[in-house]
């Protein structure tokens, strides 16, 4: 997917370069500063993000916002009506995304729910307007709930003892959650992201059936979860 995104960015830059060059030679007279040209800074990244990122909800919302603003700038839509419908439309898109995502990942969800029943309910860490470092060095890890609200939580699992599959529930709301897993575990990720996302540096690592798995169940709202 990233290769497709790189190709699309390359195509965009080539097109812009050609237009500027042809205009400079008076071969064409294409006005790139048309009414609403600035909306392209929303539309283009969100469109390319549909090919780069697994969770597409935020990019779909951003793309719709960009297109609607462009139509308003072109006087094809009335901004006052669009403003009234903006919040209901976004809520509908988020709701549909959650419904279909849960349906498509029912097996994954069932696995998370099954493992969570045996999780340690005491491993709950929340940072609000602050930061917190959590380490499970030489401890048996039995899952955790990590919440960052306008703050950050860092969870170090490099020296944790993991005897069974476990789940980490992450919520990043205008904040960030960083997870540093051991090399001796598999990582699987499920995310619901609205103008945020999960960065997983382990996603290209081949799964080893002999190792235990840690499931990352992430919810990002204007925030992010990073897996090192």
Question: In terms of domains, do 45 and 88 share one?
Answer: yes
Total domains present in the chain:
2
Nearest to 190 by CA among 160, 162, 167: 167
pTM of the entire predicted model: 0.59
In whole angstroms, what is the distance from residue 4 CA to residue 51 CA?
A: 7
Same domain, residue pair 190 and 100: no
Rg of the chain's alpha carbons, rounded to an integer?
A: 22
Q: Are residues 85 and 115 in the same domain?
A: no
Q: What is the predicted pLDDT for the residue at 1?
A: 52
* 3-state secondary structure (DSSP) of residue 59: helix
Q: pLDDT at position 148, please? A: 92
- Looking at the fold, whether 92 and 9 belong to one and the same domain comes out as yes
Last residue of a domain, one of 57, 85, 104: 104
Q: Are residues 14 and 64 in the same domain?
A: yes
Looking at residue 99, its pLDDT comes to 67
Burial 201-215, CB ≥16 within 10 A → b, else e: ebeeeeeeeeeebbb
Are 91 and 119 within one domain? Answer: no
pLDDT tens digit at each of 228 positions of the chain:
556 777 888 888 899 899 889 989 889 888 888 888 999 888 888 888 887 766 676 778 788 888 989 999 888 888 888 888 877 877 787 677 666 665 555 666 677 777 766 666 678 889 999 999 999 988 889 889 999 999 999 999 999 998 888 999 998 989 999 999 988 889 988 887 777 788 888 776 777 888 888 999 888 888 889 998
CB 84 within 8 A of CB 136: no
Contacts of 133-138 with CB under 8 Å at 24 or more apart are 135/159, 136/160, 136/161
Domain co-membership, 96 together with 119: no
What is the spatial distance between Cα 40 and Cα 63, in angstroms, rounded to a whole number?
10
- Domain range for 58: 2-104
Angle at 29 between CA 24 and CA 34, to 5 degrees: 110
94 and 116, same domain (yes or no)? no
One domain for residues 92 and 125: no
Task: Select from 48, 74, 104 the last residue of a domain.
Answer: 104
Listed residues 104, 120, 139: the one ending a domain: 104
Identify whether residues 82 and 155 lie together within a single domain. no
**Residues 117 and 215 both lie in one domain:** yes
Do 113 and 49 fall within a single domain?
no
């Amino acid at each position: 997917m990233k290769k497709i995104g790189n190709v699309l960015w390359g195509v965009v830059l080539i097109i812009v370069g050609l237009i500027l060059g042809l205009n400079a030679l008076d071969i064409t007279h294409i006005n790139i500063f048309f009414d609403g040209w600035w909306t392209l800074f929303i539309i283009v990244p969100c469109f390319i993000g549909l090919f780069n990122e697994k969770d597409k909800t935020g990019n779909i919302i951003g793309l719709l916002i960009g297109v609607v603003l462009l139509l308003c700038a072109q006087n094809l839509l009335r901004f006052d009506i669009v403003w009234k419908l903006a919040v209901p439309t976004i809520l509908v898109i988020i709701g549909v995304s959650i419904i279909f995502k849960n349906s498509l990942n029912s097996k994954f969800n069932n696995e998370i729910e099954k493992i969570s029943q045996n999780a340690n309910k005491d491993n709950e860490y929340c940072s609000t307007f602050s930061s917190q470092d959590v380490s499970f060095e030489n401890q048996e890890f039995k899952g955790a709930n990590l919440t960052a609200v306008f703050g950050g939580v860092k969870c170090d699992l490099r020296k944790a003892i993991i005897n069974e599959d476990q789940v980490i529930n992450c919520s990043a709301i205008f904040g960030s959650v960083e997870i540093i897993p051991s090399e001796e575990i598999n990582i699987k990720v499920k995310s619901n992201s609205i103008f945020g996302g999960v960065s997983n540096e382990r996603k290209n690592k081949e799964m080893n059936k002999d190792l235990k798995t840690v499931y990352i169940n992430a919810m990002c709202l204007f925030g992010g979860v990073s897996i090192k």
